[in-house]
Structure 1
Amino acid sequence: MKKLLIVMLLNIPVQLFSQEPAQVRRLGYDTVSIHHEHAYNREELKIYNRISNRLYKAGTLLNGKKEGIWRTYNENGTLNRVEEFHSDVSNGILLTFETNGSLQREQYSQNGALEGILHEYSGGILKLEEVYENGKLNGWRRVFTQEGKLQEEGIWKNGQRDSINRWYYPNGKMLITYTYRYGTIAGPSKSYSESGKIKAEGNYFNNLEDGSWREYYESGLLSAEGNYTSGKKSGDWKIYSEDGNLMKTQLYKNGLLIKERVESKCDVLKMSQ
């Protein structure tokens, strides 16, 4: 439905009243005004490039204010921008285009504020999807790579990240997940290796690691576990070997290693090698 609307907008003629008697006036060097007999309060305005004399911008004024579809053109004559106005305020669709004519941006406004779904493209490939409500990000947001692969996705509320947000490796595997609240990281988080295996998991508070954390080997076995306080290691941290045995226990205070106890079994193993 939206694609049909875009096609219709691009094909609406600039002169909406071309079949009616018109009075053409030149306003200065670069502007032409067209008044139609049965629409005295409405005029078409065409603005030309002062150097090349090519059409630069065209649209309609109603009682001296922008109304309906306005178009802006590149120097080569291709469309640069299509924007819908009501009473001089952006209201409706806005399309921008790359110099080769490809769609670059599609968004909608209501009374000057972004509303609904926004899309951004590069070279015909979708780069960004966002949902707006009353001018603020409010809903899902997705960012894509130059190849069109999902790079980031998450929920936003009142212009801030909220709930779970995810990032991905170029191969499509999950990189990391954060839980947000009012724009700050607060809650569970998990990071993954490029193969898809979990690397670490724990909690955040106020953008810092806080509470219980676990780290893992690529095999999936536990490599370390302990606690963070305001982003710093604290208390006992247990370090495990790749075969699952406890190797040592480290004591931290404010992120500093205070002491370390090596498990006797590991000492025996070292002596036997």
Structure 2
Amino acid sequence: MFSHPRSPRIPHRPRRPGAWTRGGARGRVRLRGAGLALALVLLAGWGATARADLRENRYPDGALMTQWEVRYEAGEVFRDGEFRRYHPGGALALQAYYRHNEPVGVWTWFDAEGNVMRRVRHEQGRRVLLDNGEFLQPEHVFRDPAGRIKAEGIMKFDKPHGPWRFYFPDGSLQVKGAYVTGVADGLWITYQRNGQMIRRETYRLGILHGEFRRAFDNGLEAERGSYDEGLRSGLWRTWYANGQLETEGYFREDLREGEWRFYAQDGTLLRRTVYRVDTPINDLPLPKPAETLAPIIPDPHALPFAPRLYDENGRRIPLHVPK
């Protein structure tokens, strides 16, 4: 009847599926693999002024998944124009708009049958919901054969809509989150029986989008990062079960970019490697015994669009792409 976020319909950590295509005034280039030559293709054109490109990615069967417009200005790339996401069957799932990285206009989400699920208007940085989303049915409770509550929430058109909770057989809370017409949306949190949070993630109509955190059973953090429309983006870190940092580095569209650092379980830095399009390009020297490494500053090429980084005094850190 409905999908829990752990079901195959809402995958965790989706890899960048299928073939990706970049297009622009110079023609379209299909990206079929990773390597130095591919990295050079991706980096070509950086530094150009006011150049527009059309980007898209596809499902494994070749069907269009997402498509969006970007613009290059002064060495930075911005989302600018229409953004579309499609269901696996080809139906439009989201129609959205950006101007210089900022959401603008009316965003509309659709289900696989073409019905409007949500409409939001962006006004000066604020999101205004255009639909009232009234609940048509009261709260529902689902029980196992022994009569114990398994899940409870509100239904709309025979689909879960709004806050929902799932329980262990002993009655303790296992998962809580919210749906929009049967699709996971917003913050979802997973717990152990003792109440310890082991997973925290945010969905945008079934797609991971925003901060993601995962913990070990002992409560120590295991992984932290963020998603952009289902793809890992920005700084990601993983830890060992003993609390020591394991890896840290930046993702761009689910692929490693820039410097990545790898550590042993005792905290020893093992390796510093520079990546381009998920391919290791070269290793950097390890620090001397008395030397302290500075935090990783992202390579501008590693970011999906223009970075907004600030120092300890709140001043923006300018990043420039070599021409």
| Structure-2-length-normalised TM-score | 0.44
Query: Is 1:160 equivalent to 2:207 in the alignment?
Result: yes
Confirm or deny: 8 A CA contact 1:222 1:244 kept in the other structure. no
1:217-232 → structure 2 map (5 Å cutoff): 217-232=264-279
Query: Is 1:208 equivalent to 2:208 in the alignment?
Result: no
| Displacement after TM superposition at 1:187 (Å) | 1.4
- Tell me how far apart the structure 1 counterparts of residues 266 and 168 of structure 2 sit (CA, whole Å): 39
SS in 2 for 1:190: strand
Aligned counterpart in structure 2 of residue 137 of structure 1, from 166, 184, 188: 184
| Displacement after TM superposition at 1:211 (Å) | 1.8
Query: Is 1:121 equivalent to 2:167 in the alignment?
Result: yes
Letter in 2 for 1:228: Y
Letter in 1 for 2:148: S
Gaps of 5+ in 1: 1-88, 246-273
Query: Is 1:93 equivalent to 2:134 in the alignment?
Result: no
User: In the alignment, which residue of structure 1 is the partner of 2:148?
Assistant: 102
User: In the alignment, which residue of structure 1 is the partner of 2:307?
Assistant: none
Aligned counterpart in structure 2 of residue 193 of structure 1, from 240, 248, 254: 240
Letter in 2 for 1:207: D
| Displacement after TM superposition at 1:137 (Å) | 1.8
User: In the alignment, which residue of structure 2 is the partner of 1:178?
Assistant: 225
Q: Which has the higher contact order (CA 8 A, sep 6+)?
A: 2
- Tell me how far apart the structure 1 counterparts of residues 143 and 158 of structure 2 sit (CA, whole Å): 20
| Displacement after TM superposition at 1:227 (Å) | 1.1
Q: 1:195 to 1:119 in 2, by over 3 A?
A: same
Name the structure with the higher strand share.
1
User: In the alignment, which residue of structure 1 is the partner of 2:27?
Assistant: none
SS in 1 for 2:145: coil
Higher gyration radius (CA): 1
| Displacement after TM superposition at 1:215 (Å) | 2.2
1:59-102 deviation per Cα after TM superposition (whole angstroms, max 9, x unaligned): xxxxxxxxxxxxxxxxxxxxxxxxxxxxxx97221111122322
Letter in 2 for 1:94: H
Letter in 1 for 2:178: V
- Tell me how far apart the structure 1 counterparts of residues 142 and 205 of structure 2 sit (CA, whole Å): 25
Confirm or deny: 8 A CA contact 1:226 1:238 kept in the other structure. no
- Tell me how far apart the structure 2 counterparts of residues 235 and 223 of structure 1 sit (CA, whole Å): 14
* Greater mean alpha carbon deviation, residues 166-175 or residues 214-223: 214-223
- Tell me how far apart the structure 2 counterparts of residues 145 and 229 of structure 1 sit (CA, whole Å): 38
* Alignment coverage as a number of residue pairs: 157
| Displacement after TM superposition at 1:125 (Å) | 2.0
| Displacement after TM superposition at 1:220 (Å) | 4.0
| Displacement after TM superposition at 1:161 (Å) | 0.8
What RMSD in Å do the two structures reach over aligned CA positions? 2.7
SS in 1 for 2:246: strand
SS in 2 for 1:175: strand
Equivalent pairs: percent with the same residue?
A: 19
| Displacement after TM superposition at 1:147 (Å) | 4.8
Confirm or deny: 8 A CA contact 1:221 1:244 kept in the other structure. no
1:113-160 deviation per Cα after TM superposition (whole angstroms, max 9, x unaligned): 422111111211212111123432221111223554322111111211
Confirm or deny: 8 A CA contact 1:223 1:240 kept in the other structure. no
- Tell me how far apart the structure 1 counterparts of residues 141 and 191 of structure 2 sit (CA, whole Å): 20
Letter in 1 for 2:138: G
- Tell me how far apart the structure 2 counterparts of residues 244 and 198 of structure 1 sit (CA, whole Å): 20
